[in-house]
Amino acid sequence: MSEFAIRAEGLWKGFRRSDKARDIGLKDALAQAASAPFRAMSRLGSGQSPFRRSAREKLWALSDVCFEIAQGEVVGLIGRNGAGKSTLLKVLSRIVEPTAGRALLRGRVGSLLEVGTGFHPELTGRENVYLNGTILGMGRREIQRKFDEIVGFAEMEQFIDMPVKQYSSGMYMRLAFAVAAHVEPEILFVDEALAVGDSNFQRKCIARMAEVGREGRTVVFVSHSMAAITRLCPRAILLDRGRVVADGSVAEVTTAYLRSDLGAVAHRLWPDAATAPGDHVVRLRSVGVIRHDGAFDATADIRRPVVLEMTYDVLQPGYAPIPNFHLYNEEGICVFVTADTDPEWRRRPKPVGRYVSRVTIVGDFLSEGTLVVDAAIRTIDPVAVHAHKREAVAFQVVDGIDGDSIRGDYGGALPGVVRPRLLWRTKLQEELPATAAPR
């Protein structure tokens, strides 16, 4: 292994509950300071240490975080909201200080935690490029050298001397990202907040990130997008409540993330009928994602079919409950809704009992990435939703690079809500004489 670029040695970061300026005024602060000796005395009286703050006053955003990243590695940092991902990036970028422990960084650090940090609406695009570039650690001469390239990347040539307040949000993002994309540190921290904007733009951002990784720079990339992480980062680190809970190959870690209850599960059970989602007519008892070989699994090969299963109890006779699934992708777009159309139960009331409904989603249809599944049960007569469990289960569709999936030999980002296998036929219509076209 080559030399480390980043080494975290037991990083801790704690916040006090009242650590926000808006929560506390100067008057309160003075009152607190004035009463501190008395509170210390009262702690003394109750046998506590007069100096130590009680531990429960602290919220630990990071606890004992250790890892090492080699030079040139591209690492994805994943975890649900509040797991400490952003705090970790902020500590490593020296925006906030760790409470304890330390990190060693070798090389110039660039942090892209937000697009357009310091952009001022009154200034022109040109002025903002200089200001933002300087904030990101570029020198004036470096910006001058790259200026045309930045403006070209953003496709903003004719608007560059307009105040930014007159830009559309798309233009703003393009320019801001263009600056960020031209920062060339040895270590780059990127927050997913960077990859906002329309999908076209997101692709451009991600392509650029991939390029940065290939240039041999060390990149730490925080994202919720499993597709982006799996494509960009060979290695991932999973954080939960401020701790490193998994660190390894991206496939292992993303699967761990999806399997554990940190993120989403492939199989969810409601053993207690009273608290299961539903009403007096139906109750959901379990929802699951089943792989082609019959096991519950949160990871699915894009080429294979996936089965969604729902178990539910019908508690009242005379109803015809119809189970249905709603699938959402990472961008929150509803990919499709599918309802039970089994002819055996069409318009037929279901007797009281436990039912299992399964639906097979064909292979070579879903796009890669995370799919979140809502499970619902409704009746048409009367029109009512009896059970609706949002984000009941989730799974990850993985598109390998074996060459026989729909992406073929193309390794880049492939947009689209679905990725169906469609029939292509090509034939030679007519042979043309070879021309010596000037090149």
Q: Could you tell me if 241 and 59 are in contact, meaning their C-beta atoms sit under 8 angstroms apart? A: no
Name which position in 131, 307, 315, 339 contacts other proteins (CB under 8 A): 131
CB of 422 to other proteins, least distance (A): 44
Q: Please spell the DSSP secondary structure of 163-205, one letter per residue.
A: BGGGS-HHHHHHHHHHHHHT---SEEEE-GGGG-S-HHHHHHH
Q: Which of 345, 332, 350 is nearest to 386 (CA)?
A: 350
Chain positions 229 to 288 lying near other proteins, rule: CB under 8 A, are none
For other proteins, which residue of 79, 98, 197, 323 counts as binding (CB under 8 A)? 98
In this complex, which beta carbon is closest to other proteins, that of residue 123 or of residue 171?
Answer: 123
Q: Which residues contact 158 (CB under 8 A, 6 or more apart)?
A: none
CA dihedral 230, 233, 234, 237 (to 10 degrees): -90
Rounded to an integer, what distance in angstroms lies between the CA atom of residue 305 and that of residue 421?
Answer: 13
Nearest to other proteins of 136, 232 (CB atom): 136
Which has the closest alpha carbon to 206: 194, 220, 224? 194
Kind and range of the H or E element at 133? helix 125-135
User: Using only C-alpha atoms, what is the Rg of the chain?
Assistant: 27
Q: Which of 69, 78, 88, 91 binds other proteins (CB under 8 A)?
A: 91
Q: Which residue number, 115 or 302, has a Cβ lying nearer to other proteins?
A: 115
**Residue 23 CB, nearest approach to other proteins (Å):** 9
- Which residue of 40, 66, 70, 96 would you call a contact of other proteins, by CB under 8 A? 96
Which of residues 54, 81, 122, 274 is near other proteins by CB under 8 A? Answer: 122
Work out whether 29 is an interface residue with other proteins (CB under 8 A): yes
The C-alpha atoms of residue 165 and residue 121 are separated, in whole angstroms, by 4
Residue 134 binds other proteins (CB under 8 A): yes
Minimum CB separation from other proteins for residue 115, in Å? 10
d(CA 58, CA 139) in angstroms, rounded, equals 39
List binders of other proteins among 39-68 (CB under 8 A). none
Residues forming the site for other proteins (CB under 8 A): 15, 19-22, 24-27, 29, 90-107, 109, 111, 113-114, 117-118, 120, 122-123, 127, 130-131, 134-136, 139-140, 163
